[in-house]
Structure 1
Amino acid sequence: MTRDELIAHCLAKPGAWQDMPWEGDVVVKVGTKIFAFLGGGGEGADRASVGVKCAPTREVADEWLQRFPDDAAAMPYIGRSGWNSLTVGGAIPDEEILEAVDESYRWVVSKLPKKDRPQ
């Protein structure tokens, strides 16, 4: 899966939109909240990655780290809240990465005020 395909999958979600809050960093949001950080794929990067909310707690999100020790890592700063960075094109099957994006979207939407949730 390419980085562009991953971004397209994210943007296909209801209410999703792309933002670049920090120079060179692409994120995809629903409402005002980020549900996917699209890293890598740029100059000097070996492989693309996506940062997603994998679980409600760090302990549950650690399952990804145990299953894919070379391709999953807790995200700096927000990892304690269940966010992981998943490497694209490694041991994690593309289907599981897409499912993780879908789950991250669901987690983030569930925390939005009802008035801000996409229809």
Structure 2
Amino acid sequence: MDATRLIAVAMERAEELPGSERENPFGPEWDVYKVRGKVFLLIPLDDTGRVTLKSHPDDAVALRETFADIVPGYHMNKKHWITLLPGPSLEDELVTELITESYRLVVEKLPKARRPVDPAVFGIRREDDPR
């Protein structure tokens, strides 16, 4: 996956998530996606094509060991964040799933009254779902 495609897939998925908002708190060089004020995705608007997102610590280790294009979170807590780099080991579906999981991790920490979705069931594909 090249840099342009990686960023396009990431932005498309982030923008369709309930309650997701794009902001630029670090200036115009970064698009930051938040849900109810909490960050779940960072995209620098430079030529690197990388995206940084939240990950469960155990998953982060496994992902970094499995995919050459997934590294510790750039300028973030290396235990809870990963960075996706353009490269051949990433596919659209994986990027979409990782962004959905990042979003779910943030939503589940929100007070129940502020959650835009139920994180226990959001984004989980059922066996009978034809998609």
Q: CA RMSD in A?
A: 1.8
Counting only pairs closer than 5 Å after superposition, residues 27-106 of structure 1 correspond to structure 2 as: 27-40=32-45, 42=46, 45-46=47-48, 48-55=49-56, 57=57, 59-69=58-68, 71-75=69-73, 76-80=75-79, 82-106=80-104
Moved beyond 3 Å, runs of 4+: none
Write the deviation string for residues 74-103 of structure 1: whole angstroms up to 9, x where unpaired. Answer: 1133222x2100124532112101100001
* TM-aligned CA deviation for residue 10 of structure 1: 0.3
In structure 2, the gaps of 5 or more residues are: 118-131
Structure 1 residue 20 corresponds to structure 2 residue 24: yes
* TM-aligned CA deviation for residue 19 of structure 1: 0.6
Paired residues, number: 111
Alignment TM-score, normalising by the size of structure 1: 0.82
In structure 1, the gaps of 5 or more residues are: none
Q: Which protein has the larger Cα radius of gyration, Structure 1 or Structure 2?
A: 2
Write the deviation string for residues 14-73 of structure 1: whole angstroms up to 9, x where unpaired. Answer: 000101111211111000101111135x2xx24x12211121x2x43111111123x111
Separation of aligned partners in 2, 1:13 and 1:94:
16
Greater share of strand: 1
Letter in 2 for 1:36: L
> What percentage of aligned pairs have identical amino acids?
28
Alignment TM-score, normalising by the size of structure 2: 0.75
User: Which residue in the other structure is 1:118 paired with?
Assistant: 116
